[in-house]
């Protein structure tokens, strides 16, 4: 059985302009841009529930959007309150790890795309 990822630490950086997630004690950490996360929201307002097609118009998300607050959702996800007023999406750990922007994860994704 595959073990679900659980971060060791999650915190807002630069007044919420970025989110840092430390995935393990060995130093695997990713720093996610707030706007990137906001645009990746998987809620029913932002993404079609059947097709998965994005519904969110990226032009409507300010370039300086920030995570005003974060809270854990059970043991499997995090919820952000965004400065653009959006407050409904949750971000499961598995999804966040799959889009981890650290160099190691980015290289692994590039390798699997080849």
3-state secondary structure 51-113: CCCECCCHHHCCCCCCEEEEEEECCCEEEEEECCCCCCCEEEHHHHHHCCCCHHHHHHHHHHH
pLDDT at 93 over 60: yes
Residue 18 confidence (pLDDT): 98
Residue 86 confidence (pLDDT): 97
CB 41 within 8 A of CB 89: yes
Q: How far apart are CA 85 and CA 82, in angstroms?
A: 6
pLDDT band at 54 (very low <50, low <70, confident <90, very high): very high
Residue 114 confidence (pLDDT): 53
Order of strands, sheet of 18-22, starting from the edge strand that comes earlier in the sequence: 9-13, 18-22, 29-33
CB 99 within 8 A of CB 40: yes
| CATH (residue range 9-113) | 3.30.2020.30
Per DSSP bridges, beta strands 77-82 and 18-22 are unpaired
pLDDT at 113 over 70: no
Q: Strand, helix or coil at 35? A: helix
pLDDT at 112 over 80: no
Going 89 to 14 to 31 to 34, the CA torsion angle's sign is positive
Every domain of the chain and the residues it spans: 9-113
């Amino acid at each position: 059985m595959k073990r679900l990822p659980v971060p060791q630490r999650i915190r807002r950086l630069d007044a919420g302009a970025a989110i840092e997630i430390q995935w393990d004690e060995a130093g695997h950490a990713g720093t996610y841009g707030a706007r990137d996360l906001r645009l990746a929201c998987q809620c029913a307002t932002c993404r079609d529930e059947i097709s998965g097609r994005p519904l969110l118009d990226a032009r409507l998300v300010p370039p300086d959007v920030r995570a005003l607050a974060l809270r854990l959702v059970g043991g499997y996800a995090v919820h952000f309150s965004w400065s653009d007023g959006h407050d409904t999406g949750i971000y499961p750990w598995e999804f966040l790890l799959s889009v981890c922007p650290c160099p190691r994860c980015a290289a692994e994704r590039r390798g699997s795309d080849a």
